[in-house]
Amino acid sequence: MYGIWILLLIVLCSAFPAILVFFWLKSKKSAVTLPWFMVSLAAGIVSFLLAALIHDLFFSDKKAALWPVLFTIFVRIALVEETSRIAAILPFLKICKNPQHKESSFGATLGLFVGLGFAVIESAYHGITSLNITIFRLFTATPLHAACGIRVGAAVFTARQHPLKALLLFASTVFIHGTYNLIIVNPAYPSVLAAVIAFAALFSSLNHLRASNTKEY
């Protein structure tokens, strides 16, 4: 019974940033409604499960030693996770009927919550044995996934009109994610550097959200 309460506490801590961001956006008169918020979080969970499935099918732990470190960091982890995020965001293009919902800013907002949904499950998964790990990830992995979600969401909703721009945006997302992973796994780098990169990526991605905070949907 005690373990269940610890698990619930970890999940609540992991979900707190997503809830906080939702109310912050609502205070800014954002177009994001509660249904969009919930569906986006669910899509983030789906993207986590999809990435885990791909890892199991193509990159099992038994084969891990065969992969070079940089390949593992930038392809096995970063590219797979960002691709799974695309798969989770793509259905929104069909769901969104209002022409204004087709804009990249709205896609970036949805991507933000997809990224936060991914972070909730991932943080709970890695932090299940230690609340300290969960707290550490709140200041590193959570802003990183939020930033990547924003950028991927904007890329997906931009692809039809500007495919090259969308491709470059996605490539930069994989690079940012991979660089963060490289710092995390290398003991030579201080942990605070991971937080610096994650928050720098987040703040540099916020411009993709601005238009969606000034419109009614």
Does residue 38 lie within any of the structural domains? yes
25 part of a folded domain:
yes
Residue with tokens 């982890």: 77
Q: Is residue 217 part of a domain?
A: no
122 domain-assigned: yes
SS3 85: helix
163 is a domain residue:
yes
Tell me: pLDDT of 58 over 80: no
Q: How many domains, the chain? A: 1
Residue whose entry in the numeric block shows the structure tokens 């991507």:
111
Q: Which of 24-28, 30-34, 208-212 has the lowest mean pLDDT?
A: 208-212
* Tokens matching residue 131: 């609340």
In a domain, 45, yes or no: yes
This prediction has a pTM of: 0.88
pLDDT value of position 99: 67
Q: Assess whether pLDDT exceeds 70 at residue 26.
A: yes
> Residue 138 in contact with residue 120, Cβ under 8 Å?
no
pLDDT of residue 64: 54
pLDDT exceeds 60 at position 212: no
Q: Which two tokens stand for residue 181?
A: 């992973």
Q: Above 60 in pLDDT, residue 24? A: yes
pLDDT at 216: 40
Place of tokens 């499960």: 49
Tell me the per-residue pLDDT of 101-152, one tens digit each, with 9 for 90 and over.
778 888 999 999 999 999 989 887 776 766 677 778 888 999 999 999 999 9
Domain coverage including residue 195: 2-212
